[in-house]
Each structure stands twice: as C-alpha cells, then as structure tokens.
A and B are shown apart, each in its own frame.
Chain A
Amino acid sequence: MDTGGIAAGARKVYEALLEARDEARLPLKVEKVGSLGYAFADPVVVFKCESKPPVVFGAMDAASARELVEKHCRAGTLLEDRVMATRERATELDGQKQVSILVKDTGRSGSGDRTTFFQETIREELEYHGMGSRIQVCRALDMGLYQQGVCVQLLPSRVTYANLSAPDVRRIITETLQGGRILEDRLVAGGDPQERIVLRNCGHIDPDELESSLRGGGYRGLVRALSEMSPAEVIEELKTSGLRGRGGAGFPTWLKWLKTREPDADRKYVICNADEGDPGAFMDRSVLEGDPHAVLEGLLIAAYAIGAEKGFFYIRAEYPLAVERVQRALEQAREQGLLGDDILGTGFCFEAEVRLGAGAFVCGEETALIASIEGRRGSPEPRPPYPSVSGLWGRPTSINNVETLAAVPAILDKGGSWYAGFGTEQSRGTKVFAVTGKVRNSQLVEVPMGLPIRTIIEDICGGAGGDVRIKAVQTGGPSGGMIAREHMDTPVTYESLQALGSIMGSGGMLVMDEEDCMVDVAKFYLNFCVDESCGKCAPCRVGGFQMLRLLEKIHAGKGEGGDLEAIRRICRCMQTASLCGLGQTAPNPVLSTLRYFENEYTALIDPETERAGVALASGEDDNPESWERF
C-alpha cells in the first residue's frame, strides 16, 4: 500500500480481503506493506503461508481479493492472470511434488492466445498422464522473463523453463514431473539480477509498525553503532563500504559526514533530503512509504557519527502518505526509546522532526533546502561556505538523500566490506531505479552498480512496452541525459554515465521509443527546469526561458539556421555561470539529445533533410541482434 498501489485501488483490495476473511472465519492476518516495486502490477498482494514460499498476486481488485481468500487460502488454488512467477529460480526439483504450473508467453506482444494454447495443451497432457487433478495450470500475470517465448514455472520447486515449443510440453511431464529430471536445454538458470539492500524490507514489513520493522532486522545497525563503535569507526565503516550519495552527485558519504563532524559548533544538524522531485522518479517515496524506520535508523546513525542532536526530514508536501508514515515512525521510535534522550541507554541524544517542502524542485539543492527549512524562499546561496561548515542556522549540517540513509543501517549491520562487495571499484553497492516510460513493466528495481542498462531494461523490466523499438533511455531526470540505444550495454556507474553525457541522478530511468520525438523530450525537461528555476541568477532564469522559446520554435517547425548555435551558446552559459546545480545541469537533456539526435533537430529546422533525418534518428547501429531484442 504505497501511493501508487493505493491509486490503483489497494484500499479496496485490502477491505475486500478483510471482509472475505471475516466471512470465511479464517485465521488469516492481513497486513499493509509498502511496495515490492512492481508498479506495473499494482495493487499487489503477497500471500505467505509458513510451510510454503510466498506467492505474489498482482493486478488485484476487490473481486479477485475475495477469490484469493476463498480459493487460494483454502485450497491453494492460484488465480488466473494474477499470479506472478518468482524471480528466484531453482535448478533442481529437490524431491518435492509439484502442485502447480505457471505459464505465459513472454514474447514482445505477449500473445494471450499462445499462453492459453499452452495452458490447454499442458492440461490435456496432464490429463493424459493422469495428473490432471493434482496439478493446476495457471496463466501467470508476469514471469519475470521477457522475449523468451513461452515460459513455465513449476511450483513449489521454482524450476523455470523458457522458449518452449509444443513438443516440450510432454517432455516436461514425462521427464521432469514424472522422471524428476531437469530439461537442461530449456532451463532458465540464474535468478534475479536484482539485489535488494535499500529495498530489503519494502513490501515485506508493515511500515506502520515498529515491531514489523524490528522483525525485518530494523535498528540492528544502530545498536551495533551505538554499542560497539565510536563515531569515527562508524565513518570508517562507511568509508570501507564506498557508499556515495544517492541523490545524484555521488559525493562519498563518509567524507560528507567527516567534514560535518570536524568543525566545532554548539549545535549540528542532520537532514534527510526527501524532496524527491525529478519527474518520473519515485524511489525515495517508495522507501519512505515502505520502510520509514530504515531511513530514520540511517539518520540516527548519521547523527551519531557527526555529533548532531537534531535532525529533520524534509519531505515533499506532495507525498502525504510518506509524511504520515515517517511521522508515525518517529512517534513509535520515541515511545521505544530509539529517539529522544539517552537512546538505548547509551547517552546518545537525538530528536528529529518532519518539515514539508511546498512544491519547489530547487529545494533539493542543499543551500535552497536549508533556506526552505529556515522558512525562506528556496533560493540557493553561493558556496563556500559549505553546509558542512555553515548550514542550517549557520551550523554544520549534513544533508543526505533517503536512499543513502536507507543503505546505512544495512552497512552497519553487515559491514562495510560486505556492501563494497556489490558494484564496481568506483561505484560500490546497489542503486534503486524507477523505470518508467515506454517499457513493458514500469517498476522499481534495485541492482548492483555496474549492471548493464540493457539488463535492467530488458531482463528485469521486459524491454519495449509496445511494438516499437526503444530509442533511448534517459537517466538523471532533468539534470541528466540520453543513453542512446547503441550504448545500452554501458554499465550503470557514476563514471560511465557521465562519460555518455548523462548522470546517475537520483534514479529515474525513462525509456523512450521510436515514436518519441527527442526535441519534444528535451523541451519537456527544459520546461520543467524553467518552471522550477528559483529565478535568482540570470543565466538560469533568463537562459532557460530563452532556450525553451527556441526549442518551442523548432518543435513547431519554425526553426531557423542559427537557432542551434544560439541554443549551444545558452547551454554553455548556463552550465558555467548558473549559481546552482539546477541551472548548471538544466542544459544536459538538450545537449545530450543534440549529441545523439541532432538530426531530429535539423529535420525540424530544415525539412529538406527530413528524409535522412528519420533514417538517422533511429541510430547508426543496424545490429540485427539489438533489433531483435528491442
């Protein structure tokens, strides 16, 4: 039950579940949890039974909720077109008796006909072998596999086969079900490329219950920090972990903390920056809504390391549910002595409260955020002095993003070197991405850094959403840039994305296909920055506006020679002479579309080149392999 889930009808599903349970008088506990990340499948219900692995149901509604209670709870019957195959796949049967088979055609258009055909075929074949009554054959909502033909997953073993053809059906039954042998040529080896550290508890715990969080391992990191480590050792642990700020810039977290720890001051502050405002990004919201205690725990650890006694959650006012959950987490932590004076009897004192944003993207910038908490216009200030020296009310202040803070408890719990084991040399650990746009399955993913973008887009999210090829992936939101199709194998690290003219950013990943006009997309992002410019410095205030006018002119087909030159000129000016990151990076979407798709601009300016433009716009790679995959 996060914002997305509720918007999709999670409340109704929740109520229906309760009602059906009461009617059926079942000993069933219905818990509200945050998002598992499957935005495309909202609302999602996870059914857990002690003896069996959990089953995930997606695209639920009130009727199917009732059905779930009546059929699944009682008889273990799976719901057609609702069950999601598990991404943890097995390679052996483990001697278990299989009770159900999930089936789905995972091709681009995911034809329901082929799915049904295979479902029927399997059923018939089972009948033929006298197993019809024992094994349910169910159409899956999602297999977690894409472009791999018809797939099946056997439950409870989780053995998964892909690229099945009709004759394989019999082999599955005779060789696997009856003979206990795996079809090696069809087996999908390897599990989920995702690695859930930040999202470890999202979708698994009740975010409104501290108890639930504790069961999920909550506050273990804090306990270790407070009872076994000095603040310097905490910072050292962070250094070992290699964690870098997940808000976009990627500044090493340990260094940020150290710089705030060093100055002498009567008071110091820690702030959780939850002013997530990138259009198309919902990572931070999902974490706050799914596991607020993890973020609070991270803030507590940061405060301990820095020597702060007061902290703030600066949350977008547009995230009322996140605000509510954080407020509740604070109350519960206070009640349990995890917040306030003498925390856990260690003498450490810390208080935190929530402050709301009010609709200003620029307040994600540290000095603007500070101004906003102080009750002023969110206009950035020149640096130095840096917030680590003179921040909130002139005191040393460390501002950390939600995802960064949520990773901290895990690092403290399991050790910095454990965390450093994920990712690459320069970019350690995992990163959460919100993948949206023209992608089959919009969702939240968390992957070890260094994974190729292609793996995220294709293997996890299913590739293109429609029948058209993917053209590019945008990362970093309005501050980022395009990753053109030919660069899809680039690993996601701070450095590699920057080399392509984009940035890691906070984790928005927008997929665009051939139908999307890059000039229009650039215009969209620039428009966002123009709207959100604080208006203080001239390069950003006027530069963004004039550049937007030029883009609108070009997009309307009224472009003239010299317009691109003027755009580049403004870009250079904004990048160098804007006061803060918003203005400095606002030209990025424009520059990167110019870099990879200049022909789309010139085609609009000079229709003569249009024919060539369209051909070129699709990129120069005519690699049949990538054609196939997209």
Chain B
Amino acid sequence: MIQNMVHATINGHPVEAPVGTSILDAARGTGIRIPSLCKHADLPPSAACGLCIVKIAGNPRMPRACAMPLQDGMEITTHDGELTEIRRTTLELILSNHPNSCLTCGRNGDCELQTLAAEFGVREDRFPKYVPELPRDCSNGSITIDFKKCIKCGRCVQVCQEVQNVWALSFLERGIHTRMAPAGDISLAESPCIKCGQCAAHCPTGAIVEEDETSTVWAALQDPEKYCSVQIAPSVRVALGEEFGYPAGTNLNLRIYAALRRLGFEAVFDTNFAADLTIMEEATEFVERLVHGKGELPLITSCCPAWTDYMEKFHHDFIDNFSTAKSPQQMLGVMAKTYYSEKAGVDPARHFQVSIMPCTAKKFELERTDEMFASGYQDVDVTLTTRELARLIKQSGIVFGELPDEKADSLLGEYSGAGTIFGTTGGVMEAALRTGYHLVTGENLPADGIEILPVRGLEGVKEAEVDVAGTPVRVAVAHGMANVDKVLEKVREARKRGEEVPYHFIEVMACPGGCIGGGGQPYGISNELRRLRMEGLYQEDHDKALRCSHDNPGIRQIYSDFLEAPGSERAEQLLHTKYKARKAYLR
C-alpha cells in the first residue's frame, strides 16, 4: 500500500494521497478548498476556468490543481496574495462576460459564480460588460437555457456528451464567440435532448435551469374549482432536506406530506405506492416472458422517461424489449383520476394532480403519448422538481423544520420497501426480483436473501445472477446513458452471433445513481451525496415491515377493487403504454 501513496506538502503541511490524486482533491482532503468553476466531482478536469491555479516550488508556471496530480516531494502553495489577485482577475473577467441579473436568476442564492464573487468581495465591474444578446431556449418544456449566463465551463457539454452520450449540447465557434448550443445550432426541442437535466444539475450558474412551474401550481391551489392532489417520488424524500439544512439522505417523507397539506393539497399520495403497482405489472410481464416465452428477452425497465426518450431515438431496435408498464408517476396519476376520484367522489375533470419528482424529464413524460391521458384527462397535470418544491415551501412561509409528521392519504399512500428503493439505481431491479421470485415460486425470498446486494451501489454497470427456483436469472443494471449503451451493445452482439442473450432483465436509469441523482434534485451532486441519499432509501426499506410490492395491502386492495389482476384488460388500458421510433434530430 505504501508505494501507492505519494507524499508532498501543501502550504507547508505534509499531505499523503493515493497516486493519481489531483492537487485539488488532495488539498480538499486536508481542509483546503481551492476555487474552481469548471471542475466537478463527477467529471474529468477540463481545466477551463483557470481559477484553481497553484504554485509548485521549482515550477515556473502555475499549474491547475484540478488537472495536476500530486507527486512526491511537491511543495505546493494553494493560497497567497498573488494567487488571490490572479484568481480575482480571472473571476472579474468571467463576470465581465456574464450579466448582472442575479436578482431574477433561477440560481439566485445558490449559484457557484455568485458565491465566488461574494467570497472575493467583488464590488465593481472592473472590466466593461460584454454579454451578447442571445435568445433563451425554452423550447422543450423541461429545461431552459439562458445562453447569456453561460460561462463556458463545459460541464454541461461534458456530462451530455461523455456521461450521457446524448450529444444534445456542444460548443460552437471559438474565442470570445465560443458558445454552448444545442447540437448543430438548433433548438433544444429539435435536438436529441432527452431532458434528463444532468446539464442543469451540473451547471455552476443559472444558464441551464428547470422550467419553473411553481406559479402554475399556485394558480391551481388558488382555484376553488380544482381539487388538487399531489404525489411525491421515492428519491425526493431523501434529498429535499438538503434545501432546509438537513444532512443529505435524511428521510423526510412524513414532514413533506405535512408541508404539502399546508400548501393546500387536498390529497397527498406517495409515488411509492405506484412503484409497487409498477412492479406488479412489470414483474408479471417479466415472468410471462421468462417462464411462458411471451415476448422478447431481455425485458428492459421503462420507468425513466429520459431513458425512454433515449431508447426511442437511439435504440429503437429494442422497443419490443421494453416493459410496457407505465412509470410510477403515470400510474399514480391515472389511479388518482380514476380509482381515487371514484372512491372519494371527486369529479376527475376538476381533479388537478401534481407530482413532485427528482427529475426534469418527468415534465416531458406528462404528455409523452396518448396513453398519458388514459383517465380521459391528462393523468398528471404538472410536475415540480425537488428544487421547485423547496421554493414552493419557502414561498408559502412554512418553516419546514417545525412541521409535524403526517401520513399520506391511505388509498394511494401505502408502500412497501420495494417501492421506496425505486429511487436509486438497482432499486427497480431488486423490487422486481422480489416480486418476480414470488410470482414464480409462490413464496417470498428468504429474509437473508431479500436484499440483492450485487445490484446495489454506484458501479456504472452492475451484473448479477439470481437463482429463481432453480432458474438462473441474469440481470444487468446500468445508469448513465453511456453505460447503458455498453450493455445494449453486448445484447446486440449476442443477437448478431445468434447466441443466447447475455441478460434476461435490464434495469436502466438515465441519471448516474438513478433518481437520487436526478436532474431536478438539490444542487451539488457528487458520489458522496448519491451514497447518502441512496443510504436513506435503503434504510427505509430495511426498516419497513413489508419489503415486497405484492405484500402492500393497498396494492392488493386496488387489484381486488378495481384492476382485477396484473395484466388484466383494465390494467392494460390504464397502466401500460406504447413506444415508437423517433428521430433524434427534428432538423
């Protein structure tokens, strides 16, 4: 082990770090933060912003801490008067190319550039402004781009091209005219954008933000004609707290229910309920395909709308492999406007359903196909991201930390541990296997086998073989689109060679980490944060008495009262959808 460590000094203090650690990270490890606007924990260094320069004894230059690995014997100075002045100048130069519109910006108060300007005590525009007039792109309804605010750090382009392999965003032109723009200089809606929102999650400024729909929700809540109900997605409960000073991963579902009631929602549902419902349909579908040979294998999960969009654009040869089960958001929406409305005596035409999601693509899913109107109305009316919900709560004057715990409404509010882990990569797979096992064997997995550990964690592609009554079921879990491509390629190659497919079941989530790392979650994403949020969900699963979707009494009730059985005609009509090949570029 010793030989894999390097030793150096930072600001006179000895540091030790594994070979390959950047000076930036090594310094952070010793309690020193070196400023940067381009380096993101998720991404390799692009070395664009120039703020993280440091001095190394004997080196005439000032290398960037983000890209320079710590080496034995280095004597590093990270902060001194000269470095601060140079950084200040760089920052002032960046600011001269950025509008002073903080007050009307989506990132006001939570902006990396604004924070640095405050830390450096910038009090005037040292250099005259140069901010060319570029129209905003609000074309796709999920995320909006204000090109004027872009500081060309390159994070969004890196994440879109390298992590997601979507290539919806790119840099055009060069020099001072360099600009970030959707592929081929078209609008975002015409581009291959899958609305995952990872660009927004990684943007240090307000250049890319979610389409804010809090006003629409306020208007609905205000409208006496409307009956407003709401659902919250699994991963929201372990992330929202970050906006209110809670440690990451704190599960606040009960308090969120209370907040939503105080905001004026008449019914508060939990998307976890619908996650259990999705599992019932999807696991049934899987068993049909696996055991009865009805349909293509592998079965591929479809509850991530960004992934669905990606598949329709780039992998439509896999349409037949897609689970036709709708996502939990859409299942809950349609159940709210049919089953619940009927039970509660609410006119579905008046019923206004809001979903709270970790995700920008969920906004797009609302009108994705005709099947999203299965209730006869738009099944879910508005999607708010976790960040928007935080704003909504702040706008309402509710002091979140002082709320009591409350319960969700019973009909669409109960959930199993399987439902809650939907919010993390591997969770859908684990939940489906728990129920699939039951469908095949008639029994639950033994207590010591209910947690399917190989599909957990942040590894980009996770593979596992699970024994289901003597049948080895090969599964793969991928998150981050570039990882998904690798898995699908493997399947394609096996097909081409006429071999047995490498997997029976594949789970896909577009965002790294799954929904807990979604594009609509509180800012500052990193693997550390993903782990904490993930931990929050697994903890809840662990603590639940009921770990399997099919054991959820609410689910049993809805099938007996309303849906008959998984895959029934009614279930097909309300809970399933279709896919079609789409053009990646509309222009």
Contact = CB atoms under 8 A, between A and B. Distances in A.
A adjacent to B, CB under 8 Å: yes
B86 A573 contact: yes
Contact of A534 (B61, B90, B126, B175): B175
A385 to B, nearest CB: 9
Contact of A532 (B46, B49, B87, B175): B175
Contact of A573 (B48, B69, B89): B89
A538 B93 contact: yes
Most chain A CB inside 10 Å of its own CB: which residue of B50, B128, B154, B173: B50
Interface string B127-146: 11010000000000000000
A545 B51 CA distance: 18
Contacts of A542: 93-94, 96-97, 127, 130, 176
B325 interface: no
Contacts of A569: 85, 89
A614 interface: no
Contacts of B177: 535
Interface stretch (A118-126, A162-170, A398-406, A574-582): A574-582
Contact of B176 (A383, A537, A545): A545
A251 to B, nearest CB: 14
Contacts of A544: 175-176
Interface in A564-607: 566, 569-570, 572-573, 576-579, 584
A539 interface: yes
Contact of B173 (A535, A549, A566, A579): A535
Interface bracket on A: 20 to 34
A535 B152 CA distance: 8
B53 A577 contact: yes
Contacts of A383: 67
B474 to A, nearest CB: 32
Contacts, number: 112
A143 B18 CA distance: 68
Interface string A543-573: 1111001000000000000000010011011
Contact of A579 (B64, B126, B130): B64
A533 B128 contact: no
B314 interface: no
A541 B130 contact: no
A320 to B, nearest CB: 23
A537 B48 contact: yes
B178 A539 contact: no
B93 A535 contact: no
A579 B50 contact: yes
A538 B174 contact: no
B86 A541 contact: no
B89 A538 contact: no
A382 B97 contact: no
B264 interface: no
A535 B127 contact: no
A360 interface: yes
Nearest to A570: B89
Interface in B32-70: 45-51, 53, 61-62, 64, 66-69
Contacts of A535: 152, 171, 173-178
A531 interface: yes
A382 B175 contact: no
Interface string B167-210: 00001011111100000000000000000000000000000000
Contact of A538 (B45, B49, B68): B49
B126 A566 contact: yes
B17 interface: no
A383 to B, nearest CB: 8
A624 interface: no
A530 interface: yes
Nearest to A584: B61
A31 B236 CA distance: 80
A381 interface: yes
B22 to A, nearest CB: 10
A538 B49 CA distance: 5
Most chain B CB inside 10 Å of its own CB: which residue of A384, A549, A577: A577
A591 B128 CA distance: 21
B151 interface: yes
Nearest to A381: B47
A377 B48 CA distance: 14
B93 A573 contact: yes
A560 B176 CA distance: 24
A569 B82 CA distance: 11
B151 A538 contact: yes
Contacts of B96: 542, 546
Contacts of A382: 45-47, 64, 66-68
Nearest to A543: B93
Interface string B82-124: 0001110110011011000000000000000000000000000
A97 interface: no
A536 interface: yes
Contacts of B50: 537-539, 577-579
Contacts of B89: 543, 569-570, 572-573
Contact of A536 (B87, B94, B128, B178): B178
A541 B51 CA distance: 14
A533 B69 contact: no
Contact of B174 (A534, A539, A578, A579): A534
A576 B61 contact: yes
Interface in A456-513: none
A577 B90 contact: yes
B171 to A, nearest CB: 7
A262 to B, nearest CB: 17
A536 B154 contact: yes
Most chain B CB inside 10 Å of its own CB: which residue of A532, A535, A543: A535
B93 A360 contact: no
Contacts of B151: 538
Contact of A541 (B47, B69, B178): B178
A533 B174 contact: yes
A316 B442 CA distance: 72
Most chain A CB inside 10 Å of its own CB: which residue of B53, B127, B177: B127
Contacts of A579: 47-48, 50, 64
Given A536-B154, A537-B47, A538-B90, A576 B53 contact: yes
A382 B178 CA distance: 19
Nearest to B53: A577
Nearest to B91: A538
Contacts of B51: 577
B533 to A, nearest CB: 31
Most chain B CB inside 10 Å of its own CB: which residue of A360, A541, A578: A541
A534 B130 CA distance: 18
B62 A536 contact: no
A546 B46 CA distance: 23
B481 to A, nearest CB: 20
A367 to B, nearest CB: 10
A546 B128 CA distance: 8
25 contacts: A381-B47, A382-B66, A383-B67, A384-B68, A530-B175, A531-B175, A535-B175, A535-B176, A536-B46, A536-B47, A536-B48, A536-B154, A537-B50, A538-B93, A538-B94, A539-B50, A541-B175, A542-B96, A542-B97, A542-B130, A549-B130, A569-B89, A570-B89, A570-B93, A578-B50
Given A546-B130, A579-B47, 5 more contacts: A382-B64, A530-B176, A543-B89, A544-B176, A579-B50
For the complex of A and B, 9 pairs with smallest distance between CB atoms: A535-B178, A382-B67, A382-B47, A577-B50, A573-B89, A542-B93, A533-B175, A545-B176, A535-B174
